[in-house]
Amino acid sequence: MPQPKPIDEFLYCSTPEAWIEAAVVQEAVLLVDHGNCEKKAASTAMNLIYRYVDYPDLMMRMSKLAREELRHFEQVLGWIKQRGYAYETLSPARYAGELRKLVRTYEPARLVDLLICGAVVEARSCERFQALAPRLEPELARFYEGLCESEARHYRVYLELAAKVAAPDDNLEQRIDLFLSRDQELIESADEDFRFHSGVPA
């Protein structure tokens, strides 16, 4: 597999302007759900470590990734506290759940799809950080810009691991296209609730 593309070339669409406008005026929800996403990302990495013990490189790289995601969670909690917002449980966006529906149920195809799914989610997160940064106050904007580097690295890690574990007859590009097409549908379609990975506000 060739080197992963830059994120703006990898994803099939950009975040709609309507979502960015909603994010700017719903900062509390944005930060709380962002924190939830960081927790989920760490949990995903840990689950891969527990389940796929026959892949030493995967376990090592997911261990580092999980630590970074938890550090991001801590940082987002700091922003929530600084802003005086309450950290609360929010209903999840449909985004990740819908992408997970594409994951095959047999191995190693399941692992390949989980890694592709992880790559798409990380790429979308990075794209959203970049889209948001120019619209936020400078201090918070710098924080989001700083997250882009690690999220972009995570995207590359997931794709590289998918290429390593894919079976010789597995059409990796076709699988990636499937997940990216679904990502585009979810990002460009309407969502009732605003979340970090939600679509266009209804």
Domains of the chain with bracketed CATH: 15-190 (1.20.1260.10)
Please, where are the H alpha helices in the chain?
7-10, 17-25, 27-51, 56-83, 94-100, 109-132, 138-165, 172-188
Between the alpha carbon of residue 121 and those of residues 53, 55, 88, 117, 144, the distances in Å are 23, 22, 22, 6, 16
- Please report the pLDDT score of residue 89 as a whole number: 87
- Please report the pLDDT score of residue 1 as a whole number: 54
List the structure tokens of 50.
């527990």
Q: In the chain, which stretches have pLDDT less than 50?
A: none
Largest CA distance in the chain: 53
Give the whole-angstrom CA distance, residue 152 versus residue 134. 18
Could you read off the pLDDT of 27-79 as tens digits, one per residue?
A: 999 999 999 999 999 999 999 999 999 999 999 999 999 999 999 999 999 99
User: Would you say how long the chain is, in residues?
Assistant: 202
Average pLDDT, the chain: 95
